[in-house]
Amino acid sequence: VASQNGPGTGAASRQHRHESFEQAPMYVAVMTYLGFGIVTLFGYFRDFLRAVGLEKCHLAQEREEQKDFVPLYQDFENFYTRNLYMRVRDNWNRPICSLPGPVFDLMERVSDDYNWTFRLTGRTLHDVINVGSYNYLGFAENNADFLKTVADKTRQYGVGVCSTRQEVGNLGIHEELEQLVANFVGAESSMTYGMGFATNSMNIPALVGKGCLILSDELNHTSLILGARLSGATIRVFKHNNMHSLEKMLRDAVCSGQPRTHRPWKKILIMVEGIYSMEGSVVRLPEIIALKKKYKAYLYLDEAHSIGAVGPSGRGVTELFGVDPADVDVMMGTFTKSFGAAGGYIAGKKELVDYLRSHSHSAVYATAMSPPVTEQILRAMKCIMGKDGSTEGIRRIRQLAENTRYFRARLKEMGFIIYGNDDSPVVPILLYMPGKVVAFAREMLERKIGVVVVGFPATPITEARARFCLSAAHTRDMLNQVLHHLNEVGDTLCLKFSRQKYSPQPDLADETDFELDS
């Protein structure tokens, strides 16, 4: 169950109590390590067969005349890819041939050489239920009535801008979007970028550098980690959502200063996410803000998965916890999930945004956002805010919250171990053993349900999982169908590891409270 680390009151402690990280029974961990041990032994055996020429190696290798060169391909680093991932990679990178809505069509493919290569059969799997896409509010849609303004803007501006914002690529709809984003998140100003990943990786180096300290949550996204490394700042990692760990690092940083010289740090930046995309957990924002103020640090909040998806009106974790957006120094989010588009934004004080316009690599060198993408974000955001004159946006937000609560409650009743917060539409089901991860993904696809499975190195070696992303576009019948098959597959593959007795009553009470509040 969720560990209670650090102080928490009111909304913060109530939210945190609804997070669960149940530990698996000891035999599951033993069997998981045993499974990896067996496949590793077989991997070494297969490498031996390749070395003596009894088995062909399909991966890139050094040419004979380059044997004396420093190797381009580190053979041992590819061991995992060569011997483990390659045997199961049919569960990833599946080609889809339709809109990635609540259902999609998959192109069937087969392999004749144990997944080294694939060939398409020409057959299509129709109406596969999609529980893997980040289509939280269902805006990845092709309804001609909804997309009329996007089509109009495409006719007016074309598809590409072919210039940066600082040269001749600054369109009126870009400025309109930035004003709307600032209004939506409750900030003074904002700037938008054409790529969500680069919003983090290219802006963090503009904010901090040598002589600065970054305190990063251990489960932060790769884009945050890359941005921190590129900045040249000192990086220290605190335990996930653990306020004691964060406060200890803050206290040490303030008291000891920089290594060797002990001069004060130029800046201390705390980097966290709103919803963590592999755990489904929600940041403990009120407590982090309290620590930030106490130790005079800055806060960088990545709301890629939370903006639009949580809060009574979809304004993210600041609204979920009822905190003042002005207390977050740098508010970052992406348009790739809840808004069904592409790109990202940075919001905050006007001085911050003006500084980034001239110092951020994303702002100075990157091509401006595509006009139809810009209009899609405007359309979706106006719908969420009710500025289109309808209640469709708030209906979708409430539908997502209802689907999230229902799906999580049913999984707990069935006996699966799931991670994360009850408000999080990211629902990880723990599968643990490598063989069961593969069997689960293949069996679910046989039942026409498209799932995302994740294993090492994206997760700890003993915590492989299937990650479900819920959407407002999922109907109750779709969810019931997924749950029915999950129940059967869970029994067949023995995936119901939970030892907790679940009572649905508390969740029913919370769901009622949520609807009354919103």
Q: pLDDT of 333-350, one tens digit each?
A: 999 999 999 999 999 999
Q: Is 243 within a domain?
A: yes
Residue 335 maps to a domain: yes
The pLDDT of residue 508 is 43
Residue at 348 is within a domain:
yes
Domain end point (choices 385, 413, 441): 385
CATH number of the CATH domain containing 279: 3.40.640.10
Is a pLDDT exceeding 70 seen at residue 515? no
Judgement on whether residues 270 and 350 belong to the same structural domain of the protein:
yes
379 and 398 part of one domain: no
Q: How many domains does the chain have?
A: 2
d(CA 256, CA 249): 10
Is 424 found in the same domain as 343?
no
Residue 433 lies in a domain: yes
Residue 189: its pLDDT value, please? 97
> Residue 95 domain-assigned?
yes
Is there a single domain that holds both residue 181 and residue 150?
yes
CATH code for position 124: 3.90.1150.10
Residue 381 sits in the same domain as residue 416: no
- DSSP assigned state of 84: I
Identify the domain containing residue 453 by its residue range: 17-130+391-500
pLDDT at 321 over 90: yes
Q: Which H helix or E strand runs over 298?
A: strand 298-302
Q: Are residues 216 and 320 in the same domain?
A: yes
Mean pLDDT of 122-133: 95
Q: Which residue type occupies 27?
A: Y
Helix (H) or strand (E) holding 222: helix 222-231
Does the residue 173 lie in any domain? yes
CA 180 distance to own-chain centroid: 24
User: Does 518 fall in a domain?
Assistant: no
Q: Which two tokens stand for residue 1?
A: 């169950």
Mark which of 385, 410, 429 sits at the end of a domain. 385
Model confidence pLDDT, tens digit, residues 382-435: 999 999 999 999 999 999 999 999 999 999 999 999 999 999 999 999 999 989
**Helix ranges, 270-335 (H):** 285-295, 317-321
Strands across the sheet with 330-334, in order? 189-193, 344-348, 330-334, 298-302, 268-273, 213-217, 234-238
Shared-domain flag, residues 364 and 476: no
Both 337 and 427 in one domain: the answer is no
Tokens 């680390």, residue located: 5
Model pTM score: 0.89
- Distance, in Å, from the CA atom of 191 to the CA atom of 182, rounded to the nearest integer, reads 9
Q: Which amino acid is at 103?
A: V
**Strand 420-421 vs strand 19-20: parallel, antiparallel, or unpaired?**
antiparallel
Q: Are 123 and 457 in contact (CB under 8 A)?
A: no
pLDDT per residue as tens digits for the range 10-28: 544 444 447 878 888 899 9
Pair 62, 178 in one domain? no
Least confident of 192-206, 210-224, 451-465, 471-485: 451-465
Q: How far lies 173's CA from each of 164, 170, 182, 186, 367, in Å? A: 14, 8, 14, 20, 15
Listed in sequence order, the residues at least 6 apart from 247 whose beta carbon sits closer than 8 Å to its beta carbon are 6, 291, 295
Residue 241 lies inside a defined structural domain of this protein = yes
Regarding whether 324 and 237 lie in a shared domain, the answer is yes
Whether residue 77 has pLDDT greater than 70: no
The mean pLDDT of 356-384, rounded to a whole number, is 94
Residues 107 and 42 in one domain: yes
Q: Is the pLDDT of residue 1 over 60?
A: no
At which of 354, 385, 416 does a domain end? 385
pLDDT, mean over the chain = 90
User: How many Å apart are CA 5 and CA 13, to the nearest integer?
Assistant: 10
- Residues 48 and 55: their CA atoms lie apart, in Å, by 9
Does residue 518 carry a pLDDT above 60?
Answer: no
**427-483 confidence digits (pLDDT tens):** 999 999 989 999 999 999 999 999 999 987 788 888 999 999 999 999 999 999 999
Reported as a pLDDT band with limits 50, 70 and 90, residue 216 is very high
Do 154 and 284 belong to one domain?
yes
